Amino acid sequence: MNKTTRLRIILAVVGALIGLWLSPDRGALAAFWDGIDPTAQTLLYVIIGALIGVAAEFAYHWLRASGHTLQIEEVSLPLLGGAKISLNDEGRKVAWRMFVEIASRIATQELKPGTGKLGEALDSLYGIFTSTRDELKTMSPSVVPLSRDQMTVETYGLNMLNQVLRPFLARWHPRRMDWQDTGAPGHLWPLGKLCRQDLEATRQQLLVYAWGLARIARVPQPGRLLPAEPDPNNLATLMDEDVISAQEQGIKAGLGSAQGQMGWRMYVEIKAHLVVDAVEPTAASLGQSLGMLSDLSVQLRRELKRMGGPTPPITIHEHTVEGVTLRILHEHLLPFLAHWQPRLQSWRLEPGSATGEWPDANQCLEALRALGRAVDGEEVPKLEKLLDYNQP
C-alpha cells in the first residue's frame, strides 16, 4: 500500500466520523454524547476541530512532499542530454506561455548580413529574457527531489536564461548602448558584424530550447510556428572575447585625441549622408540627395571651425583630418552642388515641371555616382587610416 492510498483511507475515516457526527440520527453516538457534561462537549468540539485541521495540514504537506501533483514525463531535451521533465498543469501552462513569447518574436528569425536592424533583434532577445523571468517568478517552486537526469519547467527556463540569453546580452547590450550614446547611425557600428555572428549562434541555441518547450507544452505541429530545429550537435557558439576586445581597442585608439574625435564625427557624417546607390533618376529623388549633400557640407564646415586651426598629422601619414575634409569640400562637394543645385531649382520654376521629367536627371545621377566613387573610394579610406579604423 503506497502513501497516497494510506492517506486516502485516513481522510475517508475522518470524513466518515464527521459525517456520522453531523447526521440527525446518530443512535448510540447521540446517547453517548447527550450523557457528557456540556463543558466536556465544548472541549471535545475544540479537540475534534483541531484534529481536522491537523489532518488537513498533514495531507497538504504529504501530497507536496510525495510529488503527487507532479508527473515524470519522458521529453526529448537535446541540449540537456535528453533529460526527463517533471510536470504539473501549472508547469505546462508556463511552458506554453514561454513558447509563445519566443515563437512570436523576431529573435527566432535569421538576420542575414546587410538585412534587418541589430537594435530590434537585441531588444527582442531582451524582451524574451524579461518575460521568461517574470513567468518563472509566478511559479511555486517544485519541492519534489530530482535526480541528475530530471528537470522541472522552472529549471529548464532558468537554464535557457543563464546558458543562452544572459551571456549574449551581458556581452552586447552595454556595447550597443555605448554606441547609441555617440549619436552615430546604427548601421555604422564598427562591431556590428561581430555582433551579428554572436546573434546567429544565440538564435540557434534559443531555437533548440523553443522546440523543447513545444514538446513540454504538447504544441501540435510546432514546425508551422518555428523555423527548422537546428542540429543540437552542430551549434555555433559565441566567439572568443579576445576577438571583440582587439577590434574594440583599435577603434578606441583612433579616438584618443580631440582631433581624432572630430575626425570620427566627420567620418560618420560623410558615411551617413553620402548614399548614392538608392537614388533614382527623378527630380524628387535627386533633389533629396542634393539636400543631404548640402547638409553634409554645412556639418563639415562646422566641425572644421571647432578645431580652432590646423594640427599635425595624428599618424605617420602625410594627411591630416582637416586636410582630407577640406579636399572633400572644395574638390568634390561644393563644385558638385554649385553646378547642379541651381539647375534643378531653375527647372522647377519652369511651367509644367511639377508633372514633367527633368531633362538633366540622368546626367545629374551619373555625376552624383562619380562623386560618390571619388569620395568613398579615395578620401574616406584616408580618414579611416588617420583614425586607425578598419571598417568591418
CA nearest 105: which of 126, 124, 118?
124
Same structural domain for residues 235 and 268? no
Cα(94)–Cα(330) distance, rounded to whole angstroms? 64
Structural domain tally of the chain? 3
Specify whether 195 is located in the same domain as 283. no
Burial pattern 137-150, b for ≥16 Cβ within 10 A else e, equals eebeebebebeeee
Q: Are residues 22 and 96 in the same domain?
A: no
Task: Verify that 95 and 195 share a domain, yes or no.
Answer: yes
Determine how β-strand 150-152 pairs with β-strand 71-73. unpaired
Q: Which residues contact 351 (CB under 8 A, 6 or more apart)?
A: none
In a domain, 392, yes or no: no
Looking at the fold, whether 203 and 228 belong to one and the same domain comes out as yes
pLDDT-above-90 percentage for the chain:
20
pTM of the model: 0.54
For residue range 246-266, list pLDDT tens digits in order.
Answer: 887 766 554 445 666 777 778
Q: Write the pLDDT tens digit of every residue in 188-206.
A: 788 888 999 999 999 999 9
Q: Which of 191, 219, 241 is the last residue of a domain?
A: 241
Same structural domain, 91 and 193: yes
Same domain, 82 and 56: no
355 and 288 share one domain: yes
**pLDDT tens track for 196-244:** 999 999 999 999 999 989 988 889 988 888 888 888 888 889 999 988 8
220 and 297 share one domain? no
Convert 206-228 into a string of H (helix), E (strand) and C (coil): HHHHHHHHHHHCCCCCHHHCCCC
In a domain, 336, yes or no: yes
Domain of residue 154 covers 71-241
- Note whether 362 and 299 are same-domain residues: yes
Cα distances from 14 to residues 9, 65, 133, in angstroms, run: 9, 21, 43
